[in-house]
Amino acid sequence: MESKLQPSNELEKKYEKEVVMSPGKLAWKRFRKNKVAMTGLVILTIIILISILGPILSPYNMAAIDLSNTTAPPSLSHLLGTDASGRDNLTRVMYAGRISLAVGFLSVLIQVVIGGALGVIAGYYGGIIDSIIMRLVDIFSCLPTLPMLMMLGAIMLDLKVRPENKMYFLMLIIGLLSWPGLCRLIRGEILSLREKEYMQATEALGLKDRRKMLKHLLPNTAATIIVTAALGVGSAILTESGLSFLGLGVTVPTPSWGALVQSVDDMDTLQNYPWLWMPAGICILLTVVSVNLIGDGLRDALDPKHNS
């Protein structure tokens, strides 16, 4: 006679199902329940797909000039009109999305690699290593980010860096100036985690320091890293857009959303040619808002105290 315990009610079934779930699946389940965050994910996915596939499917070349059709209003042949050089504005907005999104995501990747690595090392070893890394963090935290970026942008202009190469310098500069905050957060978590029982077990097993950090400590800071990275993408995109708007970031003929908004250089353009600047501005708004919604949703989903 089989003595199988059956769940007595729906609450027990739900609890039993969640107990056997992996942390990743459980976080995804919580995230899916957040309709606002899912809306942000859908919007961001659409923007990314359009930015990647749009220029490939477009019949127009991003840099093709047609002086016979300058600043033409939106029409069936040019859905978002043309710019002052007769280039199709829709194609340029989609291509600009590649640049702005690449700068946002890759600069955050640099931030995560540097901040995560130094945070784990500082928190694990402590002592003089911790002091050196934290003083380095203090130095970078004291640097005025925007003036530094503007100064470096001006240097790139003087050095006549090619427009298509500026995005790589922007990624590197934004990433190098953004890591201290994440480093502090990771260090604080590692200081707590290294006192846990499972870390004492790794000591008893004689595991190498590198394995302890990579296999046991760093994965337990994934929630902090993911949320910080998600929120950092929006900040990086805004920073790149601001620099390009000031003429210190990506410049023509290579477009970015900030560089396209820069076309508003007089009141006549602002009032009479909205198709030149409004689409790029809307793309910046939607991308940053959707990334922030995703970041908030991930923060709730990865919180172990969050009620599912």
Parse the chain into domains and list their residue ranges: 31-52+88-301
DSSP characters over 187-221:
HHHHHHHTTSHHHHHHHHHT--HHHIIIIIIGGGG
Q: CA dist 187 to 15, 137, 180, 184, 224, Å?
A: 34, 11, 11, 5, 11
Query: For residues 298 and 75, what is the distance between their CA atoms, to the nearest angstrom?
Result: 41
Degrees (nearest 5) of the Cα angle 107, 159, 169? 5
Task: Look at residues 136, 172, 178, 140 and name the one whose alpha carbon lies nearest to residue 153.
Answer: 172
DSSP SS3 for 88: strand
pLDDT tens-digit readout, 77-114: 888 888 888 889 999 999 999 988 988 899 999 999 99
Local confidence pLDDT in tens for the 308 residues of the chain = 444 444 555 655 555 555 556 667 787 888 888 899 999 999 999 999 999 998 888 888 888 888 888 888 898 888 888 888 888 999 999 999 998 898 889 999 999 999 999 999 998 888 899 999 999 999 988 888 888 888 887 888 788 777 777 778 888 888 888 899 999 999 998 888 887 777 777 777 777 878 888 887 888 888 888 888 888 888 888 888 888 877 777 777 778 888 888 777 777 777 888 888 899 889 999 999 999 899 888 888 876 555 44
Dump pLDDT digits (tens) for 167-184: 788 888 888 888 999 999
Which residue's structure tokens are 């990743």? 24
Sign of CA dihedral 19, 23, 45, 181: positive
CATH architecture of 31-52+88-301: Orthogonal Bundle (1.10)
pTM comes to 0.79
